Amino acid sequence: MSTTYNVVLLPGDGIGPEVISEAQKVLELVSKKSADFDIKLTPYHFGGAGIDAAGKPLPDDTLAACKAADAILFGAVGGPKWGFGKVRPEQGLLSLRKELDLYANIRPALFPSESLLGHSPLKPEIAKGTEFIVVRELVKGLYFGDRKEADLDTPGSEGDAYDTMVYNKNDVQRITRLAAHLALQQNPPAKIHSIDKANVLATSRLWRRVVQETIDTEFKGLEVDHSLVDSVAMTMVSNPRKLNGIILTENMFGDILSDESSVIPGSLGLLPSASLSGVPDGKTRCNGLYEPIHGSAPDIAGQGIANPVGTILSAAMLLRYSLCQPKAAEAIEAAVRKVLDSQDVGGHGLRTADLGGKVSTSEIGAKIVEELEKLL
Ligand code: NAI
Ligand code: MG
């Protein structure tokens, strides 16, 4: 009997609907070709589109559908139309993360194809072979701790401000388990690089000890090492291959390191991401929100030139982590690689404008679907 997975599509704003439409075709093909499962895709309003349709960025029916879904594929939100008003599209994303307790943000830094090496801001010989996944704790730490705003307007006020970073054992254990399962999904199992600032911060000393103990007791045989965040920031651009495997870190360090890593492959349009609420152990499904790392790109919206690869690779992550369908995920990744490696008649490569090509969003999407058809 075949299972039906319910996947919510949140196209959002700007180029969001353009890139989601290509990923939708990819998922529809996977569904059609699989004898074991079907994927039911249902679009909902979100972000600016939610504000226009229902007066808020995360309309009630959208939230209910996301909670009930097996997974969510999201494009991007935001744009000048909604400006910096009281109700902003981006608020929808923060609410959704909170409502679904998406405690882990996962961002791979990899080259979907070696033929893209020339687009990296790093020298090809340094960038070559970079393949790591940043696992960032997303709901604790400095961004969620007790804080005080400075009062700079009252005469005599000292103008002090503070933010606090709080982690407890459970917080560190659950993100470590998640990272360990991601490591185990690779063959051979990936090495875990845990990043902290244990020479200064108490939360980091807790982090380091709990990460090591969790691996030692629950994941014997997995390799883990510990490094300081400032030194890793240098390694990431001087010798990124050294970080291959899983980078495991807390919220703020992960925010900074994942942005740093995202420039290595050369275009924002290439990279996928996932935010997960369960443990992706390859057997039990966990809910997750999957999205390209880029925003709504208002400067190119409506022109049909956005790169859909990051969204299509997000759909592959969705299949791997939320639907436990690694073979379909690998097939999508292989199809993307094939298309990026191939040449069009002018010898430019089948690429969108961000990678120096001339191919449209829907042309590259159709090409990926064509290659995938051969692989499934
Ligand atoms: P952005 O990522 O939308 O665009 C930055 C630059 O990269 C632009 O020049 C854009 O044309 C280009 N770009 C982005 N994605 C591309 C793609 N797939 N193909 C080709 N080129 C691409 O970031 P920006 O301009 O800072 O933000 C625009 C809007 O998006 C803002 O409203 C912002 O708040 C929102 N945003 C939303 C995010 C989300 O929905 N997760 C994340 C980041 C920003
Ligand atoms: Mg950031």
Kindly compute the dihedral angle of the four CA atoms of residues 332, 338, 343, 348, in this order, to the nearest 10 degrees. 60
Determine the atom of ligand 1 nearest the C-alpha atom of 78. 32
pTM: 0.93
Residue 352: Cβ-neighbour burial (10 angstroms; 0-12, 13-18, 19+): buried
**pLDDT of the residue at 79:** 94
Per-residue pLDDT of the chain (376 residues; tens, 9 = 90+): 689 999 999 999 999 999 999 999 999 999 999 999 999 999 999 999 999 999 999 999 999 999 999 999 999 999 999 977 789 999 999 899 889 999 999 999 988 888 889 889 999 999 999 999 999 999 999 988 999 999 999 999 999 999 999 999 999 999 999 999 999 989 899 999 999 999 999 999 999 999 999 999 999 999 999 999 999 999 999 999 999 999 999 999 999 999 999 999 989 999 999 999 988 887 777 789 999 999 999 999 999 999 999 999 999 999 999 999 999 999 999 999 999 888 655 666 688 999 988 899 999 999 999 999 999 9
| Closest protein CA for atom 36 of ligand 1 | 295
Task: Catalogue all structural domains in the chain, each as residue range(s) with its CATH number.
Answer: 1-101+295-376 (3.40.718.10), 104-146+160-276 (3.40.718.10)
CA distance 18 to 311: 10
Ligand 1 — pocket residues by CB below 6 A?
Answer: 15, 19, 76-79, 90, 93, 268-269, 291, 294-300, 306-307, 310, 354
pLDDT of residue 85: 77
The predicted structure's pLDDT at residue 344: 58
Amino acid 60: pLDDT: 97
Residue 22 per-residue DSSP state: H
User: Which residue minimizes the CA distance to atom 16 of ligand 1?
Assistant: 269
Nearest-angstrom CA–CA distance, 75 and 81: 17
pLDDT at site 121: 94
Percent of the chain's residues with pLDDT above 90: 84
Give the integer Cα–Cα distance in Å for 300 and 269: 12
In this predicted structure, what is the pLDDT of residue 287?
Answer: 85
- pLDDT given for residue 371 in this prediction: 96
pLDDT at 336: 95
Q: How far is CA 356 from the centre of its chain?
A: 24
ipTM exceeding the 0.95 mark: yes
Which tens digits make up the pLDDT trace of 322-348?
999 999 999 999 999 999 888 655 666
Among 255, 268, 363, residue to substitute to test ligand 1 (most atoms within 8 Å of Cβ): 268
- Enclosing H/E stretch for 177: helix 169-184
Residue 284 confidence (pLDDT): 75
